[in-house]
Amino acid sequence: MIVDAHVHIGKSTRLQIDVDGEHLVRVADEMGFDKICCTDLTALFYDMHEGNELLFREMKQFPDRIIGYASLHSTRFGTEALDELDRCANDYGMRGLKIYSTPQMSIAEPATIPILEKTVELDFPILAHATPHECEYLMAAVPECKLMMAHAAAQPFAQGDWNRAIMAAKRFPNLYLETASSTIDSGFLETCVRELGPEKIIFGTDIPLLDPYFQLSKIRETNIEPDQLGKILGGNILRLMGLA
């Protein structure tokens, strides 16, 4: 089974995206992805309540294909954010949290801690667009949370330094690396597996921002064993979400 752990749905003029569930499921069919884990762009960048509800509607249309991440546009909304996570878990059936960090508005701050503690309570893995330094701060504060470093530092705010991401993931048992990136450095996956084992690597594509074919190829066209690939391509994320 292949599960894409990093998919965006909805609208963003900045990212030049406007896609619905039907489009994404069609892409998943072409790619051979059994399930896609989606985060709504409105929830991530503007209004969590509106965006998460939009995602819930898409989940209802494709219940066997779309797994929802509850998304927060900020971790600075206190109990409003905690209540939203409860709603997403209990009313919408979402299975994880997506949060986004920028150098100008970093999530590596005390306001994020109650959010992480809530994910432990809900048994939510967190897909965090965050740097290795930020992830280390968060893991040190709440070591029992299940944190997936989106892009494995292969993103601009982390200077593409996936070697540094591996070092961080080695320090914290519950810190995982997610593979979506426009970086396709040779040896990336082999180094991750050698240093961390296949259980800590999560496959994602970041569609519809990035081309999914090279994302899948950089995982498959390696010398990684088939059973290890099975964990990376779907087994791990389903385990973290309690769906295995």
Partner 1 sequence: MVVDVNAFIGKWPYWPVPHSKFSQWGVDRPCICSTRSLFVHWEDGNREVEAAIKQHPASLVPFACLGTFETSHRAADRTHDLKAYRERGFRGIRLYPQHHSYHLLFEPFIDEICEQARVLNLPVLLSLRAIMNWGVPALDLHDMLGIVERHPRTPWILSGVNYLQEIRSVQVLLRRYPSVHLETSCVMGYEAIQKAVTECGYEQILFGSAAPIQHGRANLEKILHARVNDLAREAILFGNATRLLGLGSK
Interface ranges with partner 1 (CB under 8 A): 16, 154-156, 158-161, 163, 182-188, 190-191, 207-218, 221
CA distance 154 to 198: 18
Q: How far is the CB of 9 from partner 1 (least distance, A)?
A: 13
**Please, which residues have CB within 8 angstroms of residue 36's CB and are 6 or more apart in sequence?**
3, 4, 7, 24, 25, 28, 65, 66, 67, 207
Q: Which residues pair with 102 in a beta bridge?
A: 105
Q: How far is the CB of 146 from partner 1 (least distance, A)?
A: 27
Question: Is-contact 4 36, C-beta < 8 A?
Answer: yes
CA distance 171 to 72: 27
CA distance 131 to 22: 32
How many other CB atoms sit within 10 Å of the CB of residue 62?
A: 17
Cβ proximity to partner 1: between 77 and 157 the closer is 157
Q: How far is the CB of 209 from partner 1 (least distance, A)?
A: 6
Cβ proximity to partner 1: between 74 and 163 the closer is 163
Pair of tokens at residue 57: 């509607």
Please name which of 110, 161, 101, 163 lies closest in space to residue 134, comparing C-alpha atoms: 101
Cβ proximity to partner 1: between 187 and 197 the closer is 187
HSE, side-chain direction, 13 A CA sphere, residue 84: 28
Cβ proximity to partner 1: between 74 and 182 the closer is 182
Q: How far is the CB of 78 from partner 1 (least distance, A)?
A: 33
Cβ proximity to partner 1: between 84 and 206 the closer is 206
Q: How far is the CB of 53 from partner 1 (least distance, A)?
A: 25
Cβ proximity to partner 1: between 94 and 207 the closer is 207
| Residues constituting the chain | 244
Q: How far is the CB of 6 from partner 1 (least distance, A)?
A: 13
